[in-house]
Structure 1
Amino acid sequence: MTDRDSSRTLPHPATEEIRLEGVLHALSDPVRLSIVRDLAASADDLSCSHFDLPVTKSTTTHHFRVLRESGVVRQAYRGTTKLNALREEDLNTLFPGLLASILTSAQAEAARLGAGA
């Protein structure tokens, strides 16, 4: 790892530092929930630019920071691209069934409201 790589390392909470109230807060916002839904549906890590969000770039940055700092996602640079991965294993270890329940409920709500799956 070069000095340049280490300067681009983003802080993440350790698994034991993730708190339920932080996760619930992060997932309570519709934009952040849509990010998590997309990550859960993808087998690959997704770049920030993958997401077509109805907010400004600075607000998008804020949403990703909230998700990262709450322990919902892990972000890492690959070259100049910031990739995002859902911390599904960590969340399932700490809060069994929570993420699956939230994602299932979000999908049902989207279908009910006509927003699709």
Structure 2
Amino acid sequence: MTGRVTPPSGARLRLDRVLHALGDPVRLEVVRRLARDGECSCAALDGGRPKSTMSHHFRVLREAGLVETRAQGTTHLNALCRASVDAAFPGLLAAVVGAPEG
């Protein structure tokens, strides 16, 4: 069974939520990895952090409209919602992903 957890549509994206989500170093790292590598499993993105911590980060990213998560069996796959974010806030993701780290 495949399920999908969808983020808010482009019309409902809020800049304050997007910026809050991107303001955390762990979530920013997740967004950068998804931008670079495409769809990834939660395990590939956890960096050795506890599952409960990463669940919180993924929830914040989904609620902000930055990430979409779909279940494929027991694996959860995450993808960047680039099109909807770019439509709502042109150039934001490109600037964030392209910004120097640190």
- The alignment's TM-score, normalised by the length of structure 1, stands at 0.79
Is the Cα–Cα contact under 8 Å of residues 6 and 68 in structure 2 kept in the other structure? no
Question: Which amino acid counterpart does residue 37 of structure 1 have in structure 2?
Answer: R
Question: Which amino acid counterpart does residue 33 of structure 1 have in structure 2?
Answer: L
Residue 65 (structure 2) pairs with residue 64 (structure 1): no
- The alignment's TM-score, normalised by the length of structure 2, stands at 0.90
- Higher share of residues assigned strand: 2
Q: Whose radius of gyration is greater, 1 or 2? A: 1
Q: Which has the higher contact order (CA 8 A, sep 6+)?
A: 2
- What do you get for the CA RMSD once the two structures are aligned? 1.6
Q: Percent identity?
A: 46
Where does the alignment leave 5 or more consecutive residues of structure 2 unmatched? none
Residue 12 (structure 2) pairs with residue 20 (structure 1): no
| Partner residue in 1 for 2:26 | 31
Separation in 1, partners of 2:31, 2:9: 19
Where does the alignment leave 5 or more consecutive residues of structure 1 unmatched? 111-117
**1:59: how far off?**
0.7
How many pairs are equivalent?
A: 102
Is the Cα–Cα contact under 8 Å of residues 82 and 93 in structure 2 kept in the other structure? yes
Please identify, of 74-83 and 8-17, the stretch whose mean Cα deviation from structure 2 is larger: 8-17
